[in-house]
């Protein structure tokens, strides 16, 4: 009986490794979405419409690829041998990674309605917000790489840094909202810019949620 249990445990561990490697592929696509979104915002600031359009298309493509990985992971988890709590944690991680790409795509779609840069200070702050998201997404990828390699302490370290970046994002949103309220934007443009700011924050929150789930998996693996 003990031998059978060990074999099943080994099979479960091997399956979890495959799912974590899939998660690494997934987070790579999500990181691409965040990086390309930053490029789109920078291109808007520079009035480089061609580069902006290319970046928006790259966001959409990476989001689509990530969605395919998400579906594949969900199928594997639904029929796998992992215990229910482990399966649930990995499913939540999968969804959080998908939320990052979805939010990036949401901002990219909103940018299609904006042809001229925002007021200089507001534009600069929005670009800086996207840079913060890139830094957080890069830390998330490093955390999941450490998770694949059983580097628990590294996972915890990267996730703590994500948490710090997320808190900075909250502070930045308050500053951005103040700038927005004092701007002279028209009603429709004001609404679009508000949605961009709000969705950028939600994207960073999604990165933080994924980091929390990576931390849970790392602690369970101790």
The Cα–Cα gap between 20 and 219 comes to 15
- The boundaries of the domain holding residue 156 are 2-220
Beta carbons within 10 angstroms of residue 3's beta carbon: 7
Domain at 208, CATH number: 1.20.58.220
**pLDDT surpasses 80 at 155:** yes
Asked if residue 215 lies in contact with residue 165, where contact means CB atoms within 8 angstroms, the answer is: no
> For 4-54, what is each residue's pLDDT tens digit?
334 334 334 655 677 888 899 999 999 999 999 999 999 999 999 999 999
* Residue pLDDT, tens place only, 180-204: 988 888 889 999 999 999 999 999 9
Phi-psi region of 181 (alpha: psi -120 to 50; beta: other; left: phi over 0): alpha
The larger pLDDT score, comparing residue 91 to residue 222, is at 91
User: How many domains, the chain?
Assistant: 1
């Amino acid at each position: 009986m003990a031998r059978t249990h060990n074999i099943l445990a080994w099979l479960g561990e091997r399956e979890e490794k495959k799912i974590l490697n899939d998660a690494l592929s997934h987070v790579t696509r999500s990181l691409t979405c965040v990086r390309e979104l930053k490029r789109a915002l920078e291109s808007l600031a520079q009035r480089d419409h061609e580069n902006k359009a290319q970046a928006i298309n790259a966001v959409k493509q990476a989001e689509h690829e990530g969605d395919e990985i998400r579906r594949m992971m969900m199928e594997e988890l639904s029929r796998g041998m992992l215990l229910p709590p482990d399966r649930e944690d990995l499913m939540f991680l999968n969804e959080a990674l998908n939320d990052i790409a979805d939010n990036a795509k949401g901002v990219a779609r909103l940018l299609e309605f904006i042809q001229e840069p925002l007021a200089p200070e507001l534009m600069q702050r929005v670009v800086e917000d996207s840079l913060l998201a890139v830094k957080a997404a890069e830390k998330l990828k490093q955390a999941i790489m450490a998770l694949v390699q059983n580097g628990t302490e590294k996972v915890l370290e990267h996730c703590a840094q994500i948490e710090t970046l997320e808190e900075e994002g909250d502070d930045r949103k308050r500053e951005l909202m103040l700038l927005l309220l004092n701007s002279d934007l028209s009603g429709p443009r004001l609404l679009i810019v508000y949605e961009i700011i709000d969705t950028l924050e939600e994207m960073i929150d999604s990165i933080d949620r994924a980091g929390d789930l990576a931390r849970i998996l790392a602690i369970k693996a101790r």
